[in-house]
A = this chain, B = another copy of it.
């Protein structure tokens, strides 16, 4: 009953994570009901993604080859290492960090064939060997693979004068003890800090 052209758009929308068949239909029908110009604007925005690349230095997005992170005036003595480009956006939203970033493009997972050469690791080792870098903060994900990646990187980056740290672990803001899993509680206990009053 639904014309093929609409159906094919619904199928495309349904490929996004978290978008089911029903939501995809809603998106497609909304676009059909909207002025035709909106469709053109969406197509234009999709086409402009062609201008987006990845920075060979830090691994974050570039626009027309320009990296908004590497070219920005940020503290060059600290490197925050994350797995994904979107992690950078998340940390920036928190607004608590002013140093440089390095995006790995994933985490090590030998079983899935993700070995060090498949990630953006050599560029990180090169950057971390620069004497003006004094701290590398490893913010890989809080999973087995994320931890393994952090251990691998630590082993390869270690040098005198370089502090290597890992993101703090423990209770999330607003977290209730009752609903927190055992692993997190253990880490929260280990990572307890003295109270300054």
Binding site for B on A (CB under 8 A): 1-6, 8-9, 11-12, 15-19, 23, 25-27, 29-32, 34, 38-39, 41-52, 61-63, 68-69, 85-86, 88-89, 92
What is the minimal beta-carbon distance from A136 to any residue of chain B, in angstroms?
21
Alpha-carbon distance A6/B6, docked complex (angstroms): 25
Query: What B residues does A9 contact at CB under 8 A?
Result: 45-46, 48-49
Alpha-carbon distance A112/B27, docked complex (angstroms): 25
Query: What B residues does A27 contact at CB under 8 A?
Result: 16, 19
Query: What B residues does A18 contact at CB under 8 A?
Result: 23, 26
Query: What B residues does A32 contact at CB under 8 A?
Result: 49, 52, 61, 85
Q: Is the CB of B43 within 8 A of A16?
A: no
Query: What B residues does A31 contact at CB under 8 A?
Result: 16, 46, 49
Q: Is the CB of A45 within 8 A of B3?
A: no
Given contacts A29-B86, A38-B15, A48-B9, contact A2 B61 (CB under 8 A): yes
Q: Is the CB of B89 within 8 A of A3?
A: no
A18, A26, A49, A85 pick with most chain B CB within 10 angstroms: A49
Alpha-carbon distance A168/B69, docked complex (angstroms): 61
Q: Is the CB of B43 within 8 A of A5?
A: no
Given contacts A17-B26, A17-B30, contact A12 B42 (CB under 8 A): yes
30 contacts between A and B (CB under 8 A): A1-B68, A1-B88, A3-B51, A3-B52, A3-B61, A3-B68, A5-B45, A5-B51, A5-B52, A6-B49, A6-B63, A8-B44, A9-B49, A12-B38, A12-B41, A16-B26, A16-B31, A17-B26, A18-B23, A18-B26, A19-B27, A25-B86, A25-B89, A29-B86, A31-B49, A32-B49, A32-B52, A32-B85, A42-B46, A43-B47
What is the minimal beta-carbon distance from A7 to any residue of chain B, in angstroms?
9
